[in-house]
Each structure stands twice: as structure tokens, then as C-alpha cells.
Amino acid sequence: MLAAVGDWVLAEEHGERSTIHFVFERLGKFSRKVAGKKIEEQIVAANVDTVFLVSSLNREFNPRRIERYLALAWESGARPIVVLNKSDLCENVSALCENAEAAAMGMRVVVASIVSGEGVAELREIVRTGGTTALLGSSGVGKSSLINAILGREIQVTSETRESDDKGRHTTTSRQLIVVPGGGVLLDTPGMRELQLWDASEGISRAFADVEEFSARCKFRDCTHKNEPGCAVREAMDEERLANYHKLQREEEFLESKQDDALRSQRTKELRKMMKSVNRFYRDRGR
């Protein structure tokens, strides 16, 4: 097993370099499908206790993206906290906060700004008592700036948001652990322009717990919450939220089918390799 940031390892130091001899079993992992067409897992972070799901309160704000991050955060085993950053740039903080709270399904939402200092002390306290805390979010939402504010000193390189479209730029290019004075560990990650699911069925169920709650009242037990009459889920839920639930389910089902195809292909290759060895064995004996 290859080590990922957050892993506990047995290592031997050689000056400025180290050799990893053993990676201890993970208590949890935050992973996604690699970008592109490859069906492979990419581990973003391991052994995370708390996840700050950072979203900026500008034109990039998207409740549906928050729901996607929540699904993967729940799957990782970590406690998710939604952080709405750059509140100083937003004129309708209350409205967007309500949208985020609806997407977060009762999970803690913290409004923050490094300019006004709003929420920084609250985040600092969470970090000091929350074990290992990872910051996850799209490019330019201000993760590195938040880390600097939490630490009270400039340790991470930051860049300005483009005025033309409010989009940020990559400043963190690698994952790294930062020990926080007074307690806690911060884990900074590069911004993600693409976040695809990876084995997140349980996480989806937790992120959309309201679907299961309302589905108990549906007319049909096998209701898919799409076109059936008497569907309590469609009657009770926000249309966009339900559409996102179906979208994440389709992604998960597609990924599972591709994983099954890859597994069958691998088993076929192994079987052919074994048969070649068997045939070679009997052919050599017949000489």
C-alpha cells in the first residue's frame, strides 16, 4: 500500500530523506476517482478526524457542490464542517448561509472572512480540539489564506482572485501537514476542479438522509422518486436537491459497473496466465 498524506508509517531517516518500511492500517480515507477516464482511486487524505468543506461566498458558491463534498466526507469517516469563506465579498450572506445549511442537513456551518476576522477564532478552536483537520474545496476558495489566519502567521502562499470571473488560482500544489501551536494538525490540499465519487454509496445516504426519511411515506415501497404517483420524496424535497441526489446515484452506479468490468478483466487475465503455466508444465513433462 502506497503512503498518502495523513498516513502513519514506520520510516527510517537517511539525512534529508527517509525510507518508508511500513504503512499502518488507516482509520479512514478521503478518496475520489482520478480525473479523466481512468477507473482508479486517488486518496486525497488519510486518518482525518475533521473536514472543513470550504466554499467561497461569491459567484462560485454552489449548494450542489457542497452536497457532493459532504457525500465523500461522510464516506471518509471524518466529521464534516461547512466553511463559507470570503463573507466580506458577499452582500447576501444570510440567504446563501440558509442555502448551505439546507444542503448540509444540520451539520455545522461557519461563516468566515480573513479580512474582517469573522469565524477565524471559531475555526481555530475547532482545529485545536478536532485532531487532524483537512481543508477541502475548489481552487481559489481561500483555503491557504484560512490556514494563515488560523495559525496567525503567513505560512502558506496565497494569490488574488481574478476580478473578471471571481475565480481563484491554484496556490497549493501539494498536500502537507501543518502542526498547529496549542494543539491540532492542519492538512492543506490543492484545489479540486473535478471531484468524482469513489465508493460513496454510504456517504450519499448520509448526505441525503432526508430522502430515506420521506421515502417511508411513498405510495410504493420500490419508489425511485422519479415518476411514480404518490411519491412523498418529490412532494417534500427541493427539486434541485433531489436532482443532484439522482445524479450522484447514477455516478456511483456507473463507477460500480466499471469497477466490476475492471475486476472481471483482471480475473480473466490471471486465469489465462495460470492456464498458460499449466499448459507449459504438461508440455514440458511430455518431452
Q: In which band, very low, low, confident or very high, does the pLDDT at 158 lie, cut at 50, 70 and 90?
A: low
How much is the pLDDT for 50? Answer: 93
User: Which residue, of 188, 223, 242, is where some domain finishes?
Assistant: 188
Same domain, 211 and 181: no
pLDDT above 60 (res 135): yes
Within a domain: 165: yes
pLDDT above 70 (res 191): no
Same domain, 146 and 214: no
pLDDT above 70 (res 176): yes
Domain count, the chain: 2
Same domain, 88 and 182: yes
Within a domain: 271: no
How much is the pLDDT for 110? Answer: 97
pLDDT digits (tens, 9 = 90+) for 39-81: 777 888 889 999 999 999 987 899 999 999 899 889 888 899 9
Q: Which domain holds residue 129?
A: 26-188
Same domain, 90 and 156: yes
How much is the pLDDT for 278? Answer: 64
Q: In which band, very low, low, confident or very high, does the pLDDT at 165 lie, cut at 50, 70 and 90?
A: very low
Average pLDDT on 227-236 reads 94
What's the 3-state SS for 193-260? CCCECCCCHHHHHHHCHHHHHHHCCCCCCCCCCCCCCCCHHHHHCCHHHHHHHHHHHHHHHHHHHHHH
Q: What is the mean pLDDT of the chain?
A: 83
pLDDT above 80 (res 266): no
- CA distance linking residue 26 with residue 6, whole number of Å: 9
What is the CATH number for 248? 1.10.40.50
Q: Supply the pTM of this predicted model.
A: 0.77
Same domain, 210 and 177: no
Same domain, 62 and 138: yes
Which residues neighbour 118 within 8 Å (Cβ) at sequence distance 6 or greater? 87, 88, 111, 112
